[in-house]
Amino acid sequence: MGCRAESVLAVCFLSNQLSMEPSELSALWAPWRCEYFQKPVREGFLLEAGQSQDDGAVLVLVRRRHCFLMMNRYPYSVGHLMAVPYRKVGELSELTEGERLELWDLAELGQTILRVVVKAQGFNVGLNLGKCAGAGVADHIHLHIVPRWEGDHNFMPVLGASAVLSEALESLYGRLKTACDATA
């Protein structure tokens, strides 16, 4: 289905949803998201991922000297990656020059593999600094690399409070890891 057809379907879905009574609204089944809502964010999960010997278990794709690239276990969009320094720092001014360079190098690598593996057409890349800015882990900087597509599901998080994920983390991890190993 092309972008235009998907956009038309999205508009039809949205207009149907807005004209329905609350009891008539459709539900998207995404049982893996329960883990996100039922468990509080473990404050040290980024440190744990950095120290883990089992990259697959913590979704780490590649390691560098100062930073690593990992998949987000609770993604906003399929393929949502994070570049993370090994050191726990909460401010940009606390990063070393090596950490700053590697964060951006890993963002570039993430974009490269996401273009190949999930055919990303654009990206949201950025930092949430501080709890009031949306940081789930305010004391450990991490750079988000979120793939985007023309006509994608932008309305779902805003109006439906839902994210649409088209592939399971484990299968996508395997494809991204293969692309990363071939590129890195």
DSSP for 54-70, written as a single string: -HHHHTEEEE-SSEEEE
Residue 49 lies in a domain: yes
Residue 151, pLDDT score: 73
**80 found inside a domain:** yes
Residue 119 CB-density burial (10 A; 0-12 exposed, 13-18 middle, 19+ buried): exposed
- 130-133 long-range contacts (CB < 8 A, ≥24 apart) are none
pLDDT on residue 183: 85
pLDDT value, residue 2: 43
| 4 part of a folded domain | no
- pTM comes to 0.72
Query: Residues 46, 51, 56, 62: is their CA dihedral positive or negative?
Result: positive
Whether 2 is in a domain gets the answer no
Q: Where are the alpha helices (DSSP H) in the chain?
A: 3-19, 34-38, 45-51, 55-58, 97-117, 155, 169-183
- Number of structural domains (the chain) is 1
DSSP 132: G
Assigned domain for 58 exists: yes
- For residue 169, what are the domain limits? 39-183
| Cα–Cα dist 111/99, whole Å | 18
Predicted local distance difference test score (pLDDT) of residue 168: 74
Q: What is the pLDDT of residue 17?
A: 47
Domain for residue 28, yes or no? no
Asked if residue 59 is part of any domain, the answer here is: yes
Q: Is 142 a known active-site residue?
A: yes
Q: What is the CATH number of the domain that holds 157?
A: 3.30.428.10
- Consecutive 10-residue averages of pLDDT for the chain (184 residues): 41 46 50 54 82 95 97 86 96 96 97 95 92 86 93 54 62 88 82
Given 66, 80, 140, 142, the catalytic residue: 142
Structure token digits, residue 148: 């985007």
Note whether residue 78 is domain-resident.
Answer: yes
